[in-house]
Chains A and B, each alone.
Chain A
C-alpha cells in the first residue's frame, strides 16, 4: 500500500505517512478487540500460572515455575493427562473411522439421505448434559437396559460408570456417540464435492472394485475434509468435560479424571487459580501443537491445487 503511494507521488512522503496512519486507524477496532478478548486473557492466564494466587486472596506471589513443578509430581494431574490422551486416542480414530463408513453408506444409497443425516446429527445439536441423564439410565448397573441385554447372553452385570476399570471405556463409548454425527455430516459434505466424472473415469480406467475406487478417488479427494475432521475431532476430544461433570465427577477415585475437569476442580472447587492456570497452559500447548502439525505438515499433503 505504501509502496504504491510512493510510486505514484514519490516527492510527497507525507502522503505515505497519512495513508499508513489511516490504515492503523481502520484496523484498530479489530486489533483492539482481538487483543482484549483473545490475546490479553491468554497473556493474563500465562502470567497467573506463574503465581500462587487463590480466588479471594488479598495478595499473590510470583512463584516462577512452581506450579509446573507441582504438576510433574501431582498424581491427579498425571492421571488426567493420561486419561485425556487415551480418550483422544480411542474416540478420535473410532468416530472418524465409523463416521466415514456411515457417510459412505448413506451417500451410496439412494433414498432418505437427508433423514439419515438428521438422525446422525441429533447428538450434536442436543444438550449433552441432558443426554447424559439418558446415558446414566442406560448404563445403570441394576436397572440399565445395557446390562439387561448383556444378561440375556450370560454376561455378568458391569458397573459401567462406577468401576475404575470400566469408567473410561464407558466415557469413550459416549464420546464416540457424541462425535459420530458431526463427523458423518462433515464427510457427507466432502463426498458431495467430489466430481462424479472422476468416478466415471476411474471405472473406465479399470477400477472395478469399490475398494479400488475408494483408494483412487474417494480417499485422496477427501483429503482436505479428513484433515479438517481430524483436527476438529481431536480438539473436541481434548475438551472432554461435560460428560465427566454430569456422570462421574472424575470418579471413582480419580479414575475418570481428565485435563479440563482437573482444571475446573482446582480453579472452581479449591480456588487455586494459579495452579488451575498452569493446567490450562498445558492444555493450550497441546491444542497449539495439534494446530501446528495440521498447518505445517499435513496441509501440504492434502491440497493438490
Chain B
C-alpha cells in the first residue's frame, strides 16, 4: 500500500451548544501531518461532538476547521476527504464485506448513471473502473486479513471482523484523515488489546493523520503521539502521553489519567512548607500562608520509609509484579493507594502501621480551583 501523506488539521475556536447546554467551549487544536491524536475525556465531555464537527456531520456555532490548509468549515462531509470509523461500525447490513469495502470507491469514481443496474454496462470504460475498484478492495482486505470473508455479510462476522471491515472501508480510498469514534468499545478486553496494536501499526504504515476519540485513558496513552484531554467541553491539556501524565496542568487531568487513580490529599500552605496532616512536605508553593491546596501523589511515587505520612494498611491487591497497598491516613481522613514492589510489600499485613514518602519531584500541587501550582524544594527558600 502506498504511504499517503496525511494532512495537517487545524481547529480554531470551535464552539457548540445544544439548546442551552454548551458542549464545546472555544476549542482550538492543531494536528501535524500524519499525527495520531487522541481526544480523551469522560462520556458526555463533548469529544464525539468535536469529532462530528471535524467530520462535517455537525455544524459548529462558531470557529473554523482546516484540513491540509483548506478551510472546510462550509464543506459537507462528503467533500472533506476524510473517513470515519463508527463505534457500532455502521456497516451496510445488506452488502457483503467486499461490497461494503467498495462503497467509498464506487460512490466517488462511478457516475450516478454508472451506478444504475443494467444501464451501467452501456457506459464506456465501466469494466476497467470496476476491475480497478475490485483490485483495491482485495488489497485492503488482504492487509486486514479479511480475504477469506469477502463474500460474507456483516451479520455473519464476529465483532473483531466487523471492526476490521469498518477500518478497511475507511482506509480503502486513502483519505487525508481518519476519524475514529471509540472503535474498540464494543470488543472484549482481549481483542481490544490486540486491535489497539493493529490500529497503531496500520497508522504507522499508512501515515494518515488520525483523530481517535475514546473515554479509555489506557487507549489514549498507549496509542497516541499526543493526547488532548477534554472535560466539560473544554480542552484542558494537549501533550504527549508522558507530558500529560507527568505534568498535568489541572487536577481533573491528573485524576482522569493513570490507573490506579492518583491520590489527592488536602493540604495547607505554611511559611515552613506544605502541611499535609501531621507532616510537613519539604517544599514551598508561591501561595499565601493558610491557602488550601490539593496534593497529588501517583501510587507509584509512594514508597515505604521510616518516617513520613503515617498510614494503616487496609487492603492489599496482588498484581503479580507489584502489590497495591490501600491504606488509611488518619491525619487527613483520607485513603491512599501505593504501588509497591513485591519485596517491599512482602512483610506487610492488614492493620500494620506504615510510613509513606514520596520524592518531592513526584509531588503534584493543585490550587483551590484545580489549577496546577509549581512547587520548589524547601531548601531553596522563596525569599532567598
Contact = CB atoms under 8 A, between A and B. Distances in A.
A202 B94 CA distance: 14
A20 to B, nearest CB: 37
Interface stretch (A106-114, A193-201, A266-274): A193-201
B356 interface: no
A114 to B, nearest CB: 20
B93 A221 contact: yes
Interface in A61-88: none
Interface string B64-108: 000000000000111100111011101111110000000110011
Given A195-B88, A197-B88, A204 B103 contact: no
B309 to A, nearest CB: 50
Contacts of B30: none
A207 B169 CA distance: 14
The residue among A204, A211, A215, A220 with the most chain B CB atoms within 10 A of its own CB is A204
B153 interface: yes
B55 interface: yes
A204 B78 contact: yes
B374 to A, nearest CB: 44
Given A217-B92, A304-B155, A205 B103 contact: yes
Contacts of A223: 94
A207 B106 CA distance: 10
Contacts of B92: 198, 201, 216-217, 220
B84 A304 contact: no
A199 to B, nearest CB: 9
A265 B93 CA distance: 50
Contacts of B55: 200, 204
B132 interface: no
A200 B163 CA distance: 17
A300 to B, nearest CB: 12
A200 B94 contact: no
Nearest to B170: A204
Contacts of A212: 107, 112, 115
A29 interface: no
The residue among A208, A212, A215, A221 with the most chain B CB atoms within 10 A of its own CB is A208
B155 A305 contact: yes
B78 to A, nearest CB: 5
A206 B90 contact: no
A223 B104 CA distance: 22
A207 B77 CA distance: 10
Nearest to B85: A201
Contacts of A205: 78, 103-104, 107, 169
A200 B93 contact: no
Given A198-B92, A223-B94, A203 B86 contact: no
B218 interface: no
A209 interface: yes
A16 to B, nearest CB: 38
Chain B interface size, under 10 / 10 to 19 / 20 to 34 / 35 or more: 20 to 34
Contact of B90 (A201, A207, A304): A201
A204 B83 contact: yes
Given A200-B57, A203-B57, A304 B153 contact: yes
Interface string B100-135: 000110011000100100000000000000000000
Contacts of A195: 88, 90
Given A209-B112, A212-B112, A304-B153, A203 B94 contact: no
A222 to B, nearest CB: 11
The residue among B78, B83, B115 with the most chain A CB atoms within 10 A of its own CB is B78
A200 B155 contact: no
A208 B103 CA distance: 13
Interface string A213-242: 001110011010000000000000000000
B107 A304 contact: no
Contacts of A209: 112
Interface in B236-256: none
Nearest to B77: A203
Contacts of A216: 92, 103, 107
A203 B55 CA distance: 10
A305 B82 CA distance: 29
Contacts of B76: 203, 208
Given A208-B78, A216-B103, A305-B155, A200 B90 contact: yes
A197 B92 CA distance: 10
B196 to A, nearest CB: 22
Nearest to B55: A204
A220 B94 contact: yes
A220 B169 CA distance: 19
Given A195-B90, A304-B94, A204 B155 contact: no
A24 B97 CA distance: 47
A200 B92 CA distance: 12
B107 A201 contact: no
Contacts of A217: 92
Contacts of B79: 208
Nearest to B179: A204
A206 B93 contact: no
A206 B104 contact: yes
Contacts of A304: 93-94, 153-155
A195 B88 CA distance: 10
Given A205-B103, A208-B78, A304-B153, A200 B84 contact: yes
A60 to B, nearest CB: 54
Contact of A204 (B77, B88, B115): B77
A207 B153 contact: no
A75 to B, nearest CB: 42
A197 B169 CA distance: 15
Contacts of A221: 93-94
Interface string A167-206: 0000000000000000000000000000101101111111
Contacts of B153: 304
7 contacts: A198-B90, A204-B83, A204-B84, A204-B104, A205-B103, A220-B92, A304-B155
**Closest CB pairs A-B (n = 9):** A206-B107, A201-B90, A220-B94, A197-B90, A305-B155, A304-B93, A205-B104, A203-B77, A206-B108
Given A200-B84, A203-B76, 10 more contacts: A200-B52, A201-B90, A202-B103, A203-B77, A204-B77, A205-B169, A208-B79, A211-B112, A304-B93, A304-B154
